[in-house]
Amino acid sequence: MKTNTKRTTIYLDRDLHRALHIKAAETDHSMSELVEEAIKLSLAEDSIDLAAFEERKGEPSAAFEDVLKKLKKDGKI
């Protein structure tokens, strides 16, 4: 076990728990390792999204309705 870990309790849907348990057994990883990796991937994705928002903050915004109208006008929807 890692020395810098914190114990926590999570509640999972019964089927999700079963799938996680099976994957852990098949991959020779603990359920904790799989959950931690999933959380890291999710947080990394959030970080990428936030960086993209920051990079594009100076761009003009468009109203959703206007975008839909243009898509319809151009025959794309």
Listed by start position, the domains of the chain span 14-73
The DSSP string of 5-47 is ---------HHHHHHHHHHHHHHT--HHHHHHHHHHHHHHHHH
71: confidence class by pLDDT, cuts 50, 70, 90:
very high
Percent of the chain clearing pLDDT 70 (strictly above): 97
Mean pLDDT, residues 3-32: 96
Whole-model pTM: value is: 0.65
pLDDT score recorded for residue 1: 58
